[in-house]
Amino acid sequence: MNIEQTGLPGVVVLSPRVYRDPRGFFMETWNQERYADEGLPGAFVQDNLSESRRGVLRGLHYQYPAAQGKLLQVLRGEIYDVAVDIRRGSPNFGQWVGVVLSGDNQRQIYVPEGFAHGFMVTSDSALFSYKCTNLYRPQDEGTVLWNDPDLGIDWPIAEPILSPKDLAGVRLKEISADRLPVFDAAGRDADGGAGHEGRSEPTHYMRTA
């Protein structure tokens, strides 16, 4: 398995080993021991599956205080996946990275607790799977505005299809401090979420095909 650090420490792109032959292919999408060796958490408690059509944008979502880390993968189609550091006190607060995930490249991305997450479908449709480190708790859910001008995310489609909830998202600077996670320089969210070491410099934009 190949691990690619992004410009946001904790957000990593994984390329699991794929075994191909004339019949098709086989791959492990999760192995607790192997992923733990790479510094990823092993305590996933919920799996989700989502299907969306071209132009749909879901996000930017987060949970607090019951924060969720997410291991994400596209099974069919293609998406543009975005993670935003929203931890108060983080040197990368408000910074984001974007990665192309598809059924063809078979890559995964890990988005730690303390980050907002969203994705946009760039193929005719996409089937999207992800594992979560905490259960979904609607009372803890928050939505950062998808086109927050302070973030400046370069989405590949200018006029996405949005749910009423995502249309009503809030600019990051307008979210009260007590509704945001807290950064801890020791490499963990102050509220208990584990981090993953990586480069310290922020990256506004990273598109990898």
166 by DSSP, 3-state: which?
Answer: helix
Task: Tell me the one-letter amino acid at 88.
Answer: R
- In sequence order, what are the beta bridge partners of 173? none
The pLDDT score that the predictor gives to residue 190 is 52
pLDDT along the chain (209 residues), means of 10: 93 93 92 89 92 98 97 98 98 98 96 97 98 97 98 97 98 97 73 39 39
Considering 61, 110, 117, 196, which one is annotated as catalytic? 61
Contacts of 24 (CB under 8 A, 6+ apart): none
Q: Which of 35, 80, 110, 130 is catalytic?
A: 130
Q: State residue 208's pLDDT score.
A: 41
- As a whole number of angstroms, the distance between CA 181 and CA 190 comes to 8
Count the Cβ atoms, other than its own, within 10 Å of residue 170. Answer: 14
Half-sphere exposure at residue 66, Cβ-oriented, CA atoms within 13 angstroms: 10
Structural domains of the chain sorted by starting position, each given as residue range(s) with its CATH number in brackets: 2-16+41-189 (2.60.120.10)
Catalytic, 204? Answer: no
Query: Would you call 61 a catalytic residue per the annotation?
Result: yes
What angle (nearest 5°) sits at the alpha carbon of residue 88, between those of residues 85 and 92? 40
